[in-house]
Structure formats: C-alpha cells, structure tokens
A = this chain, B = another copy of it.
C-alpha cells in the first residue's frame, strides 16, 4: 500500500498531492512498470480521503499515460523507455536585450507620422460604440476578405480620391503590406521575375527576396522606371510607386504610365504592382490619379495602407485585385482568415463612413504642408548650393548638395550634433546613385526641430566646405 503524506492545510488539492506523489514514484523507479496500483477504494480508505479524490488522481495519471487501466483488473504502471520529465522550474530568464535605438533630436526619418492631431476622442467613441454589450457579432470570425462594410468604405474612398475603379469584392483587407505581399505571392503561385524601381522601398524588396522571387533592379530616369529596361529584364511583375516614387518623389508622367500599361498588356501573365503608399498627401494641385484607374485590361494590382494617413500601428492595408487574380484568390485562398481584428475593422469602417477620415486627412494635409513650407523656407539658408526635389507630395523631400563630396564625413558630423538625414544610396537594391541625394522626412518633427536641424546642417556644411579649401 502506498503511504502518501497528505497535508490538508496546503493550498494544493489533495488529489493533486496524490497524483504528484505517484508520478514521482513512477519516475524515480520506486513503482516499477507493470506493477499494480491499489484500487481507488482501498487507497481512499488507507489515506482516509474520499474515493472520488483518488479517482481524480488516477484519472490524471491515466490521461498523461503514467498508468494504464486493464478492464476488471485495475490500474498498472506503464513502462517508460526513458525518464520523461516535465521540467516546470523556471529556466533562468536572461534579461532580454532590448536594442535601445539611439534617438536623435533632429531625426529627418521618412517613416512615421505626426500623431499630435490624431482624433483620439473620436476613435475612442467609435471603439466604444463597436464594443456595446449586445454587439457580440464583432467577436465572431468575419469575412476572409475583411468586413463588407469596411471594404465598401475603402472602395468609395479609393474611387473618389484615387480614381481607382473596382468592385468591393476585389478588395482584400490585411494587416500590413508585408502580409498582403505574402498573400499575393500565393495567388500568383510561382516565383515570377520581378522588376523593381531602383532605388525603392527596401521592405518590399526584402519580402520578394525572402520568397525567392528573382528581382532585377530597373533604372529610373526623370519619368520614373525605364520601361525598355524593364522589358529587357524579362520581368513579369513590375513593382512601382507612380504617384510619388519612393524615395525619389518622382511623379510618373502620363506617357510613362501608358508605356508601362502597354508593357503589361503585351504578354499574358504580366502584372504591375502599384504601391500607392502615401498618395493622400499632395500639397499642390489635385492628387495624381492612380495607375489602376487607367488600366482597362486587369493588369494592375493596387495596394495601399492606412499607416501613413492614420497611424503605423493601425496595421490595416488593402489590396485591389484584378478579376483574374481575384478568382484564383477566391478558389484557392479564401480559407485564410482576415488578419485584422473585427473590432479594428468596424471602428475604421465607421471612421471612414462618418467622414472623420476625410476631415483628418484635410487637417493633416494642412499640417504637413506647413511643415514642408517651413523646411523649404529654412533650406534657403543654402542659397544656390541646394537642389530640392519631390516636395509637392508625401512626407519627405530630397536634396542634393552639388558642391559637397565628403558625404560620409558630412553624415557623421551631423549625427554627432544630433541631426540624422538619410542618403538615398541606402535605398538602392544594387549600384549607387550618380549623385548622392539626401532624404529629409518631416512628418514627426516640430517646426522648431526642422528649423534648428537645418541650421545645424548648414553649419556643418560650411565647416566641411571651408576645410576643403
């Protein structure tokens, strides 16, 4: 008979104490494989506990396979080939290395947005409405493409402000561009050769690379991607940012757009992936229409995101599929659940439908326009020494400083004084630019930061130029 010391004062239930004791005995070899355990009735009497308690302990041992039940004969210790132990001790938690990114007081990063004017109250109000008690629907799994009501709001927005022509059914909502690229890769179903603008958004390049797509870097001229070179490269998928090329800021003119669409039309299976990442912000004139709106042959896959227009953390992007790819998606891939939580989908859908998005965009456009104006004004410090481009749209501008040659020293000295700017050479898939350009993002900087940052830049510039003399 097993003698188990039971402590009724312990927080641990009695059945668990019995279970642990027996398990320990089995593991330690004190109870050998094949040996028979006392019946639960006997053990209960022996330990002066209820039979139910022993049954529970035996049940657990049975579930985990430490003992076996033989009908009408009782419980027997299982044979374990080797000690199999659940190691429940906390393994030492090595303090996680949190890579503290150095923060520069004047960081002209092209990513990030200004959240100062975000309508938190509105968002909270919408969230509250969506979370009303009786709305349990919001917690059930939804449409794989995303909520119909959100997709329909996105469709209306894209149609009105980007000239995108599509049905609601062509829109797929996903949590971020990278995810949508993964989904697209599965729709395309093969690793077709990709032609990418060079320089480009390296995040997308990395996704293609990781998925095993052979990527060719295609040169750019003043009109954007060189279509002849694209054609010769053998690419079947062209990745472009026609509304505001990333990072050069080039707006693809109508003739180039036409040539690109013609390239796609010339061969079955060719597609254009239009990444319309920050088209919401244009400071002069009307928005540049999307390439998708001019496509009459189902050749353009359109992607966009709310990361720039609302917030990076929102993690809501969308993809508009041409009909042919849509039917592949519907046949083969709609078992992938939508990756955006339904709460977020509903809040965002209402944010769009109730006009909050439009108001927010208009407000942000004004704010960013003021910032870019500030930046351009401050750059006048450089007089004729600076050439500025890409300032009519987006959240960054480009500058060149033709008299400067010691770029590394320049960047290094700037960093020492807390100013970070981004050389365009860092955005090349391969090769380097003819002339070094610098990217100056302004979204997250205040007016004062912009002013002071450029002033420091001018001082450093002068210092280097004087030294070279």
Contacts and interface: CB of A to CB of B under 8 A. Distances in A.
Contacts of A338: 315
Contacts of A163: 86-88
Nearest to A98: B148
Contacts of A366: none
Interface string A64-82: 1110000000000011111
Contacts of A116: 136
A373 B17 CA distance: 26
Contact of A313 (B63, B167, B342): B342
A80 B159 contact: no
B286 A19 contact: yes
Contact of A175 (B81, B85, B140, B341): B341
Copies of this polypeptide in the complex: 2
Nearest to A26: B254
Interface residues of A, number: 106
Nearest to A209: B332
Interface stretch (A39-47, A126-134, A450-458): A126-134
- Counting from the closest, the 4 A-B pairs by CB-CB distance are A65-B253, A139-B311, A65-B254, A60-B285
Interface of A: 15-16, 19, 56-57, 59-60, 63-66, 78-82, 84-88, 90-91, 93-94, 96-98, 111-112, 115-116, 118, 120-121, 123-124, 127-128, 131-133, 136, 138-142, 148, 159, 163, 165, 167-169, 175-176, 178-179, 182, 186, 203, 206-207, 210-211, 223, 251-259, 261-262, 284-286, 288-289, 293-294, 296, 307, 311-316, 332-333, 335-344, 392
30 contacts: A16-B286, A63-B288, A64-B289, A80-B258, A81-B258, A81-B262, A82-B258, A84-B257, A86-B294, A87-B296, A88-B163, A96-B169, A111-B141, A121-B133, A123-B131, A124-B127, A124-B131, A127-B127, A139-B313, A141-B307, A141-B312, A175-B179, A176-B339, A179-B339, A203-B335, A210-B333, A315-B341, A316-B341, A340-B341, A341-B344
